Chains A and B, each alone.
Chain A
Amino acid sequence: MPSASKTHADSRFDRLVYERVRLGMMSALAVRDELTFSELKTLFDVSDGNLSAHARKLEDAGYVTCTKSFDGRRPKSVYRLTAAGRAALNRYLDHVEAVIKATRTA
């Protein structure tokens, strides 16, 4: 039987990674060292506010880091996937694969 803390971690993970834009952001960052805010916005075709909110949630969870700088006079935010974020994505992939295996053998 899973411990209470593990169950809590899993449910927190589900809420964070399950959402489509956040899952896409983490998947994209898994294959690129870094992506800027505007690159992510183009990739997922979302508004600034929407992307900011999702990015903040991933940052707060420690799944991505954000480095802010200036490119000339324009502010630039660069996102990177952390080790915890990569582990969470792998865990999510394991869950999805397990679901597929379980339903195919059912």
Chain B
Amino acid sequence: MRSPSAVALDAHAAATLRYIRASMDAAGTVAVSGSAGVAMGVIGLLAATLASTGSLRPHWLAVWLFAAALACSVGGVLMARQASLQGFTLFGAPVRKFILCLAPGLFAGAAMTFVHWQENNLHAIPATWLLLYGCALISTSAPTTRMVGILGSLFALLGLITFCLPESLQTVALGAGFGGLHLVFGVMIRRKSRVS
């Protein structure tokens, strides 16, 4: 039978390990993957191209929704891969913070998409997506990097501009944002992580 002092020592050592882990988690940041940005950018550009072609043009919303689901999956897998390569736990506090910051903006985007679709107000969807995705990214700059905040600000700005654009240019704006901005920032983040 273990002595009470051995049990106390064991509990104290375990509590110390938990404290070290909590300190690391609190200070840790989510490793943003440049590859995820590049992959999401390529998917965005493909979606913009497909949604602009003659036969698929009436189904642009379905094309973009499919692209969004695909980009989220690919981006998520690449971010998880990056986190494991850098030795971060996948479900640690920084990742929880990242998800908590990102989710409200994405949820609002999904809700607004449903509302616009029900009201047959489809022309407002691209600007709403860009604006709310931008706001979500600005929030996630806290547990990630300042570069993500800059990317989010550009998305939000593009969203505001898109509200004023004619309907014919809105797919172009989606392509510029979800394709172009993701691609450019993905390349920049990859370069920066290679240098450091």
Contact = CB atoms under 8 A, between A and B. Distances in A.
11 contacts: A24-B20, A27-B23, A28-B27, A31-B27, A32-B27, A39-B27, A43-B27, A100-B13, A100-B14, A104-B10, A106-B2
Interface string B17-36: 10111011011110000000
A66 interface: no
B164 interface: no
Contacts of B19: 20, 23-24, 27
Interface in B1-54: 2-3, 6-7, 9-10, 13-14, 16-17, 19-21, 23-24, 26-29
A24 B23 contact: yes
Contact of B13 (A20, A35, A44, A96): A96
B192 to A, nearest CB: 13
A39 B23 CA distance: 12
Nearest to A20: B19
Interface residues of B, number: 20
A103 B23 contact: no
B143 to A, nearest CB: 12
Interface of B: 2-3, 6-7, 9-10, 13-14, 16-17, 19-21, 23-24, 26-29, 88
Contacts, number: 59
A78 interface: no
Contact size class for A?
20 to 34
Interface in A34-76: 35, 39, 43-44
A24 B88 CA distance: 17
Contact of A96 (B2, B16, B24): B16
Contacts of A103: 2, 6-7, 9-10, 13
Nearest to B27: A28
B28 A32 contact: yes
Contact of B24 (A27, A99, A104): A27
A81 to B, nearest CB: 11
A27 B13 contact: no
